Chains A and B, each alone.
Chain A
Amino acid sequence: MSAGFEDEVVTRALVRYLTVPGIAGEFALITLDNGHDHTRPSTFGPAGLASLDTALDEIAARSPAPAAIAVTGKPFVFAVGADLSGVPSITSATDARQIAETGHRVFRRLKDSPVPTFAFVNGVALGGGLELALHCHHRTIATTAAVAFPEVFLGLVPGWGGTQLLPNLVGIDAAVTVIVENALAQNKVTSASRAARTGIADALFEPADFLERSLEWAAGVLTGDVAVTRPEVDRGAWDDAIARARAVVAGRTRNASPGALRAVELLDLARNGVGEEAFSAGTAAEDDALTDLLMSDELRASLYSFDLVNKRAKRPAGAPDRKLARKVTKVGVVGAGLMASQLALLLVRRLEVPVVLTDVDQARVDKGVGYVHGELDELAARGRLSPDALNRLRGLVTGSLSTDVFVDADLVIEAVFEELSVKQQVFAEVEAVVSAECVLATNTSALSVTAMAAKLEHPERVVGLHFFNPVAVLPLLEVVRAEQTDDATLATAFAVGTALRKSCVLVADAPAFVVNRLLTRFLGVVTAAVDAGTPVAVAERALEPLGLPMTPFELLSLVGPPVALHVAERMHEAFPDRFVVGEGLRRMVELGKASVFSEPGVVDSDLAGIDAGDSPLTEEQLRADAEQALAEEIGLMLDEGVVQAVQDIDLCMVLGAGWPFWLGGISAYLDRAGVSEAVTGRRFLPRGVASLPA
């Protein structure tokens, strides 16, 4: 492929010939540099690969031949892999295959080079960047660098040699960890020290003189003064490691991501080694896999999701000008229960301002403050907080029985009992104390924020901040604009959310907002089916082809049956024709059951008969019902203007419910499966946005 992607930020391969003390002959050093600083890491598109190819041509033509070839990156970055922004312009399998083959052909020149080749991994090396390094005969790595193969996380495979080279360098078990397990564990990266320990890199140097030491080390390798020792690859380890990989994939993706499965097959194939013939066969298999995956709807949906999380989440649609945000120098939290305490912990850690918890009796207040202090102590014990920071943060968290302490607060969040009148009363009490600009926020999951604000003197200062449990972990924050919320209040809410390192999505003050509304609708279908006689086991399996992170009843347990019931009841009130309150769910709450199961897969005997109805559904029927319900609800939410665009719904489902990338949140899947058109008469997204182009 000669031309680049449209708008490709081309990573140029710059060549310099160096004199390095200790060796005769020149050292050809290639610097990968896309001309931007480290905030825009170097990637490989077609033009970037062509530049590397040309650089290698130039070096090959050099006479006398250089003594060695090395590749390094611009400051702080080695290379972060293929340029995925160009994928939408790949419209045919021929194009896709050409990308795969070009990468293989160019990188292989480093592997087959008669002149020794080195990679000096000075900074982060991901995907294709790491594959380039793996093609070199030797590698050094800077202590601050990190490596990873994020492909499987995205629904791809490392397709420029990675699946073949890595297991034959560090052994199959370590390769499974890096390529499959880490990728599926939120894209965990491998530190430089670990990379050096496992043999991904041969030598580890500090960044202060990384290139100098790397060149000196390479000179030593060339003269024989430095011996490179690598662990023997255990050929007998393949079967066990591949079985482990399959288990990881099944556990994390329910085998619903084709990329993960293909990666395991390729790793299996790597058992044949990386000799001339075996490597050719291995890379050809990678070409096939990459071609198939690049031309799959799942991958296109994954990239759409990736884009949502990395771009849309950082520039929330509909958010007011951030300059309108007010400074938050003190926060009040009404309520000192678990949710309130978790919020207080997050607030104090991220905002580093005084956080005051209030509640109705001293014991609750003490418990809440004690919880935060205990968690801070725990963080300090794990080395995540310095002793000074611990002292500072502990001192910032206090409790009180009186809302008087909110007098100089800029933000007060309530996390009290989910009852409109209670919350109205809390806000009224707080308003009597605070300034006219103090933002009042509610963490309600299903009540009307507008109604909560209605009786206040300044209803424009009320906003919803809907966090997800566990607050410290889940990255989503639904920012609820009530009818009278003004821009300054909203801007402050977004600023706080961003400071808390949450991805904020603006939602209208509609019942249960986005995530809870869809999950409740969906669970309603499932619980109704079980009420009607569908066996729990069938319900549990019905959604498996989607690869959701948990089964319906696992989800119910995570949410907690009482909360699920509360939201279901609210939703039933709001939309009685679409939202049902499951009888089984009611019974679980009455009996105080946290789960439908007494042990995995075994329905609690107290709940026997929960699925005793006489109109059971098959797995397929239930899945179809659930999908249709989701499509219907999304269509209505879009009509109601709950969000700015369907992208926000998908973003919420990815970040708030952990729904997988390959579903594109959910709308890409519903489009792909034809459900959205069947139910709403339209696609949610045009072809090509989260799917293959028409």
Chain B
Amino acid sequence: MSSRERRPRSLREVVFVDGVRTPFGKAGPKGVYAETRADDLVVRCIRELLRRNPSLPPERVDEVAIAATTQNGDQGLTIGRTAALLAGLPTSVPGYAVDRMCAGAMTAVTTTASGIAFGAYDVAIAGGVEHMGHHPMGEGADPNPRFSSEKLVDGSALVMGSTAENLHDRFPHLTKERADVFALASQQKYAKAVANGQIGPELVPVAIRSAEAGWGLATVDEPPRPNTTLDGLATLKTPFRPHGHVTAGNAAGLNDGATGCLLAAEEVAEELGLPVGMRLVGYGFAGVEPEVMGVGPVPSTVKALERTGLSIDDIGLFELNEAFAVQVLAFLDHFGIADDDERVNPWGGAIAVGHPLASSGVRLMTQLTRQFAERPDVRYGLTAMCIGLGMGGTVIWENPNWSGARTEEASA
């Protein structure tokens, strides 16, 4: 064994084994996680993934990539590494921190998945966290003055709500009423999915402490407003613009929460007896003008479709992050999909459940994998989200439970 030929390069299939998340909370002093650390939320997710997949020896995890938009305090110190250590993973397991704002966890997945495909990892944990109560958006940011002096971006580009208002300007037919209708449906679909037990199994209960009230346990999402009505939505203030369109009702709130998922090379999943929730088909990220960042998922989806050779018609399920209703509507409008198409966010979205920035990407995936399990009629699904400073991210997945293979062959 003194010298060997370099192993020939081969690409491997990557599978999404399992995903979990903490219940999402409302940011702020009254939220369930007001006195709970962000890194502890991540630790809960990592430990739960290991518990749910006991056939995975912890030392086989090759990477822990955890995203956070603000990387200081309880989200600092290279949170992928700190969370791995705090979760009790062996010291031999490395970790790192990821930031691509709202698409942090999504990027953690695509990056580690690429490492798996390339052969650098067998198994990886990817996830994200945002404790927006501890870390208000933009905390500590120091934008370069050239952004404004050279008019590189419009001043509104750094205020996400304003970028959503800008989308309404660009697409005047995407009215506030359409946004409110979409928002109401999100609340209703979410409530139904909870009642059906479709949302719930992926949640990791979290012990929450309050110095005043003692220990508690977070088991359900805090943000949803099941009693939302169209009339009620119509009366909400438009904080980003007088007589504007964007309200607290047709946008995701400010939230705390963490997500995590287990990714593996398909052959390694088989070796270790890990379940295959879905198979990664491809992904794409793309940039747009920062002041209309909400439209980002359109070019990223076009890119992902082109690179995978699929068309939008091949996609049977869409999990789109509802940072703002208008931004989802812009996506659907572009691809000619109806506002209420039942393939889209069938269990509701971030408008109901919340959007703890960097964590949300894995929530979309976890939700998609659970839908795949009950939808063998669907072959491909897509997770996509808009990203601050004008970006979009799209990941396309294949359903391993798809039963259409035979049918297709038969009809061919």
* A contacts, CB < 8 Å to B: 14-16, 18-21, 27, 29-31, 33, 35, 72, 75, 206, 208-212, 215-216
Contact = CB atoms under 8 A, between A and B. Distances in A.
Nearest to A14: B214
Contacts of A19: 217, 219-220
B47 interface: yes
Nearest to B87: A208
Contacts of A20: 205, 217, 219
29 contacts: A14-B212, A14-B214, A16-B215, A16-B216, A18-B217, A18-B219, A19-B220, A21-B205, A21-B219, A29-B216, A29-B217, A30-B214, A31-B214, A31-B215, A33-B211, A33-B214, A35-B211, A72-B215, A208-B86, A208-B87, A208-B88, A209-B43, A209-B207, A210-B207, A211-B215, A211-B217, A212-B217, A215-B207, A216-B205
B216 A209 contact: no
Contacts of B219: 18-21
A21 B220 CA distance: 10
B217 A208 contact: no
A35 B214 CA distance: 10
Interface in B36-51: 43-44, 47
Given A29-B216, A31-B214, A215-B217, A75 B209 contact: yes
Given A20-B219, A210-B207, 19 more contacts: A14-B213, A15-B214, A16-B213, A16-B216, A18-B216, A19-B217, A19-B219, A21-B205, A21-B219, A29-B216, A30-B214, A31-B215, A35-B211, A72-B215, A208-B87, A209-B44, A211-B215, A211-B217, A215-B205
Nearest to A18: B217
B206 interface: yes
Interface residues of B, number: 20
Contacts of B204: 212
A78 B272 CA distance: 40
Contacts of A16: 213-216
B20 to A, nearest CB: 13
A206 B88 CA distance: 9
A35 B213 CA distance: 11
Nearest to A70: B215
A458 B206 CA distance: 64
Given A21-B205, A35-B211, A206-B88, A212 B216 contact: no
Contacts of B212: 14
B214 A29 contact: yes
Contacts of B215: 16, 29, 31, 72, 211
Q: Is the interface of B mostly helix, strand, loop or mixed?
A: mixed
B47 A209 contact: yes
A208 B214 contact: no
Please name the 7 residue pairs, one residue from A and one from B, whose CB atoms are nearest each other, closest first: A31-B214, A14-B214, A211-B207, A18-B217, A31-B215, A16-B216, A212-B207
Interface of B: 43-44, 47, 86-88, 204-207, 209, 211-217, 219-220
Contacts of A211: 207, 215, 217
A612 to B, nearest CB: 70
Contacts of B220: 19
A72 B217 CA distance: 13
B43 A208 contact: yes
A215 B217 CA distance: 9
A14 B47 CA distance: 28
Contacts of B209: 31, 75
A20 B218 CA distance: 9
B197 to A, nearest CB: 12
Nearest to A122: B215
A19 to B, nearest CB: 5
Contacts of A31: 209, 213-215
A206 B204 CA distance: 16
A15 B214 CA distance: 7
Nearest to A19: B219
Contacts of A216: 205
A38 to B, nearest CB: 13
B270 to A, nearest CB: 29
A603 B210 CA distance: 67
A212 B44 contact: yes
Nearest to A17: B216
A210 B88 CA distance: 13
A466 to B, nearest CB: 44
A211 B40 CA distance: 13
Given A19-B219, A21-B219, A212 B206 contact: yes
B206 to A, nearest CB: 7
A72 B208 CA distance: 13
B216 A208 contact: no
Contacts of A30: 214
A189 to B, nearest CB: 23
A35 B220 CA distance: 28
A691 B371 CA distance: 74
Contacts of B87: 208
Contacts of B217: 18-20, 27, 29, 211-212, 215
B212 to A, nearest CB: 8
A18 B207 CA distance: 10
Nearest to A211: B207
B404 to A, nearest CB: 35
Contacts of B213: 14, 16, 31
Contacts of B216: 16, 18, 29
B244 to A, nearest CB: 39
Contacts of A206: 88
Contacts of B43: 208-209
B317 to A, nearest CB: 27
Contacts of A72: 215
